[in-house]
Structure 1
Amino acid sequence: MEHILDYSWRQLRDWFISKGQPGYRVAQVLRWVYDSPKVPFDEMTDVPKVVRKDLRKAFKVFTMQVVSHRKASDGTEKLLLRTHDGEYVECVLLRDDKGNRTVCISTQVGCGMGCVFCASGLDGVVRNLTSGEILEQILHLKCLLEPEERLSHIVVMGMGEPLANLGRLLGALYRATHKDGLGISARHVTISTVGLPHAIRRLAELDLQYHLAVSLHAPNDELRNKLVPANRRIGIQAILSAADEYFAKTGRRVTYEYVLLREINDRPQHAQELAQLLKGRNALVNLIPYNPIQGLPYEPPERRDVARFVDVLTRAGIQVTVRYRKGAEIEAACGQLRRLHPEIASKSKKKKKKKSKAADENAVQTGETVSVVSGEGGNGKPEAALTASVVMSGDPTVVVTDVEIMNFEEIAEPETSESKRDSE
């Protein structure tokens, strides 16, 4: 069976027409999917029985199984999901006292950026998630809400490098933010990246109202090359230049995320370097005290060092915030998400998985150029193409050397009234 969330509006309309049904069935069925994702096709009461039967035979809403559901005392909830091809991803629901309900979602199985302090890259990267799998995470998390709660924000800060899977990510976000989708405000979406300049510039050109967060973590290339290996082929200045263009074209301030590691990047001289680096830029620095990860040698900074770092930046005129830790007790905080936990790693090694065609198409292979094409848009042209040159090293690190996004058109384009009349 196919994943209904991987189908565009046009593809679904064509499917309904092939079954002798009017095109408006798309909106009818998807309203059920987005509003009440747990309701099976058989219980979609305003859809003809024959259509429900065909839907049940052809599609699934959920293709990923919940393997683990953990809850923290601060209201944070984390899901470990198993994909149809036996891989694992994690996603998180965050709650705050202001009533915000934020989902943190993943874009890849694992991560290839190799940040030395992050759990997501410990087991390498296997493949990109599809648009449907990215969107499905949001639906799984939506099912955890109480009746009076509503999803308000999306942060693309889970497993994977979002800009290395940009075409599929944008397809998922388009549906998540469209009024006929989940209806979350585009201004409440934040995409985090280690900094892929070409993709940042393409995002700027598209002007989709999303916020951009750059995971910087160091004020100079020498230190960043050690902490973020992908930086060796990029460089901080190239990232800052692309981020400047993003601000110039969109008017949206860029956030620079900085994980503080004790006695590694949390010294006053690091703060001074960072202040000099961002001088004159309309930027926000988000400091993140390190969240410990089993097996890694890094430690959180001392409170006095965090305060001193903040003071140096503030005195230099840099706006700064310190991220409040949420979900750490269930390993759901920043940098703690991973695909292979100790309890499932041994099982995964013993199990010989038969990769499906879809998984093979999404796989990231050593030294290849990855091309992602999300199907066809309303005018028959490719909706998105993403190419990334990657190099696999002995430690599970993938360095993305170049990314180019071409001819992006929203893959979830809803039917216009004109196309609706045509289909009828």
Structure 2
Amino acid sequence: MDADKMPLLGMTLEELKALAKSVGMPAFTGGQIAKWIYGRHVRSIDEMTDVSRDNRARLSAAYTVGCAAPIDAQHSKDGTVKYLFPTRSGRFVETVYIPEEHDRATLCVSSQVGCKMNCLFCQTGKQGFDGNLTAADILNQVYSLPEHDKLTNIVFMGQGEPMDNLDNVLRATALLTAPYGWAWSPKRITVSSVGLKDKLKRFIEESDCHVAISLHSPIHEQRAQLMPAERGMAIVDVVELLKQYDFSHQRRLSFEYIVFGGVNDSPEHAREIVKLLHGLDCRINLIRFHQIPGVPLHGADDRKMEALRDYLTAHGIFTTIRASRGEDIYAACGLLSTAKKTADEGL
């Protein structure tokens, strides 16, 4: 990755047209560049063969495509693959490719190096925060994925809090869904959040992608212990915000709920969840907890998870138990971390 040059990846069509004019090329060349990048996934400017050699040289002097292949891959016994991608800042992020049945494949992308939220149960939060990913860094996880042509869905549930890097996440999702970009339906993309209220409001209004909220407890005091963000933005206020929008059609609202044995799996929690989400058109994904070092939490047993699912479903909230994937390579929910993967330390 040539960090001294500006990446073309992550630029909008209008920006590419303006760039073309700024270096003495006709504006329509910007459209050609967009097709080479977003349509054909070229890895170098020299591959843009319908752009003249002189114009390619002019472009290459200050710009680069901005893509970089993963430098490491770990393969799970269940088919999940965890990739390590370099960023333009010289750090690294983990991205998880999850093949599923019926030709479905999901990519879990990261939006930050580390995370500020410091949730008790999340390994990413333990590494601290090392910076936001650029739109090019985010898109490169899709662009340079070896299986990119097999993808059917993208979830922003990797490292980082997407709403804490909102401008770059919005730019990335806009390019993924733009007719001149990847041209994906926004219904194939889900963006998660702990519930940063003001930024969540902006995301809902500026994007049509699905929304997933990390819930993990419906009780304020307990959620604050699990998720420090609750102290600044209570989940009841987040839910009130969500009730202002229509999720009854194609756009989906879901809540992620990691189930901790003896902590948030009681009948009281089930009743409080129903009370909290009353009036919202939404679904809940129950997630198994994956043990991380130094955290006094453990997963709930199958009986408790099934009882919670059945109660919520019986009370009108469609609820599923999400299958755990990639746990043997530390790719499952809450396990992503690149604390020791810096440019100086290498692998």
1:188 corresponds to: 188
CA displacement, residues 216-248 of structure 1 (integer Å, 9 cap, x when unaligned): 000110110000011111112111111112336
TM-score (norm 2): 0.91
1:126 corresponds to: 130
Conserved 8 A contact 1:70-1:79: yes
Residue 71 (str. 1) matches residue 70 (str. 2): no
Separation in 2 of the partners of 1:37 and 1:74? 28
Query: Alpha-carbon deviation of 1:266?
Result: 1.7
2:175 corresponds to: 175
Q: Label 1:43 to 1:201 Cα distance change in 2 as closer, same or farther (>3 A).
A: closer
Conserved 8 A contact 1:151-1:184: no
Query: Alpha-carbon deviation of 1:176?
Result: 0.9
TM-score (norm 1): 0.75
Q: Label 1:55 to 1:297 Cα distance change in 2 as closer, same or farther (>3 A).
A: farther
Residue 136 (str. 1) matches residue 140 (str. 2): yes
Query: Alpha-carbon deviation of 1:173?
Result: 0.8
* Matching of residues 4-15 of structure 1 within 5 Å: 4-15=8-19
2:219 corresponds to: 220
Q: Label 1:294 to 1:35 Cα distance change in 2 as closer, same or farther (>3 A).
A: farther
Structure 1 residue runs without a partner (length 5+): 351-424
Separation in 2 of the partners of 1:51 and 1:44? 10
Q: Label 1:39 to 1:7 Cα distance change in 2 as closer, same or farther (>3 A).
A: closer
Q: Which amino acid aligns with 1:216?
A: L
Query: Alpha-carbon deviation of 1:40?
Result: 2.2
One of 28, 34, 37 as aligned partner of 1:30:
34
Query: Alpha-carbon deviation of 1:202?
Result: 1.9
CA displacement, residues 336-355 of structure 1 (integer Å, 9 cap, x when unaligned): 112215xx47965x9xxxxx
Conserved 8 A contact 2:68-2:144: no
Conserved 8 A contact 1:203-1:246: no
CA RMSD of aligned residues (A): 2.3
Conserved 8 A contact 2:13-2:34: no
2:108 corresponds to: 104
CA displacement, residues 313-366 of structure 1 (integer Å, 9 cap, x when unaligned): 12322211111112222211111112215xx47965x9xxxxxxxxxxxxxxxx
2:295 corresponds to: 296
Q: Label 1:111 to 1:137 Cα distance change in 2 as closer, same or farther (>3 A).
A: same
Give 3-state SS (helix, strand or coil) of 1:10's partner. helix
Conserved 8 A contact 1:200-1:243: no
CA displacement, residues 228-276 of structure 1 (integer Å, 9 cap, x when unaligned): 0111111121111111123369873421110011211122222222122
2:278 corresponds to: 279
2:324 corresponds to: 325
Give 3-state SS (helix, strand or coil) of 1:70's partner. strand
User: Which stretch of the first structure deviates more once superposed, 241-250 or 309-318?
Assistant: 241-250
Give 3-state SS (helix, strand or coil) of 2:27's partner. coil
Conserved 8 A contact 1:218-1:265: yes
Q: Label 1:84 to 1:210 Cα distance change in 2 as closer, same or farther (>3 A).
A: closer
> Where has structure 1 moved over 4 Å in runs of 4 or more?
248-251, 345-348
Q: Which amino acid aligns with 2:267?
A: P
User: Which stretch of the first structure deviates more once superposed, 332-341 or 241-250?
Assistant: 241-250
Query: Alpha-carbon deviation of 1:278?
Result: 1.9
Residue 201 (str. 1) matches residue 201 (str. 2): yes
Residue 252 (str. 1) matches residue 251 (str. 2): yes
Separation in 1 of the partners of 2:312 and 2:259? 14
Give 3-state SS (helix, strand or coil) of 1:264's partner. coil
Separation in 1 of the partners of 2:18 and 2:35? 18
Conserved 8 A contact 1:204-1:249: no
1:51 corresponds to: 55
User: Which stretch of the first structure deviates more once superposed, 296-305 or 217-226?
Assistant: 296-305
Higher RCO (CA < 8 A, seq sep 6+): 1
Between the aligned residues of both structures, percent identity stands at: 35
2:153 corresponds to: 153
Query: Alpha-carbon deviation of 1:201?
Result: 2.0
Q: Label 1:11 to 1:314 Cα distance change in 2 as closer, same or farther (>3 A).
A: closer
Separation in 2 of the partners of 1:198 and 1:81? 30
Separation in 2 of the partners of 1:158 and 1:169? 13
Q: Which amino acid aligns with 1:109?
A: V
Q: Which amino acid aligns with 2:331?
A: A
1:85 corresponds to: 89
* Matching of residues 386-401 of structure 1 within 5 Å: none
Q: Which amino acid aligns with 2:279?
A: G
Separation in 1 of the partners of 2:185 and 2:252? 17
Structure 2 residue runs without a partner (length 5+): none
Q: Label 1:250 to 1:131 Cα distance change in 2 as closer, same or farther (>3 A).
A: farther
Conserved 8 A contact 1:247-1:254: no
Q: Label 1:59 to 1:241 Cα distance change in 2 as closer, same or farther (>3 A).
A: same
Query: Alpha-carbon deviation of 1:133?
Result: 1.3
